[in-house]
Structure 1
């Protein structure tokens, strides 16, 4: 992850559409130290190698990285369902998600140091329409663009 001395490197990744080999290699190549799980449901069998029960072991042994759940950055179930069913536009999803995490006061309640060499994890393959991108956008707005973001695809 590239960054200047005034910013902290942070990445984002989705596990869907990736083999375990590709997923863990991307994390190693980016020198990720902490995977920040921002998923709403991280125990589903559909998560395969990225299940909450297994991921800490894989990260430690394959990447020398830690696993941290950050539920404060997960969307509400209804919000996500409405977006997935196309009952809500991406712009409305963004607004609703920003309102939600503002109410949670994530910019005050989360330590920016947690994000240094961290990587936000979600299921979405690409970052373009995923709440992990919105979370980083929101935090950067409130943390004076201190996060230098790289999306691992």
Structure 2
């Protein structure tokens, strides 16, 4: 299984879907907590589900099991905690949820997975932590 991360922000549809096609993604796993507001543009949940199917010919799933805890996300976004504290908290949450095992139980049959997150020029996204944990489990 190949695992990639992709941001729903600060990108064009052409670049977003071009990357999915280049990766031959067969699953686009949306791990965002909030993905239905107007600011999400073409990556709003229902629009993204339509476009992923039609353009990338992949399955789209929004799975909040892999989203960060709302309180920690807000603290990170508002600068109350730094990236390392946020990433450590997210790792703990994933371990408590047994999320890595559940990922492989639910999605282990896919060959190329794109994890949708919220990286911008000024902030990192939780999906890079998720990717690292999933890749560590693959080699273990």
1:30 aligned residue (10, 23, 45)? 23
User: What's 2:49 paired with?
Assistant: 56
User: What's 2:65 paired with?
Assistant: 72
User: What's 1:46 paired with?
Assistant: 39
Higher helix share: 2
CA contact (8 A) 1:32 1:118 kept: yes
Report SS of the residue matched to 2:65.
helix
CA contact (8 A) 1:14 1:124 kept: yes
TM-score (norm 1): 0.82
Superposition CA RMSD, Å: 1.8
Give CA-to-partner distance per residue, 1:3-43, whole Å, 9 cap, x none.
Answer: xxxxx211110021111111111111111111000000011
Matched, 1:130 2:125: yes
Report SS of the residue matched to 2:119.
coil
User: What's 1:113 paired with?
Assistant: 108
Which ranges in structure 2 are unaligned for 5 or more consecutive residues?
A: none
Alpha-carbon distance in structure 2 between the residues aligned to 1:29 and 1:140: 20
Which ranges in structure 1 are unaligned for 5 or more consecutive residues?
A: 1-7, 147-153
Shift of 1:144: 4.4
Alpha-carbon distance in structure 2 between the residues aligned to 1:9 and 1:144: 10
Alpha-carbon distance in structure 2 between the residues aligned to 1:75 and 1:116: 24
**Number of positions where the alignment pairs a residue of Structure 1 with one of Structure 2:** 137
Alpha-carbon distance in structure 1 between the residues aligned to 2:4 and 2:139: 14
Shift of 1:119: 0.3
Report SS of the residue matched to 2:45.
coil
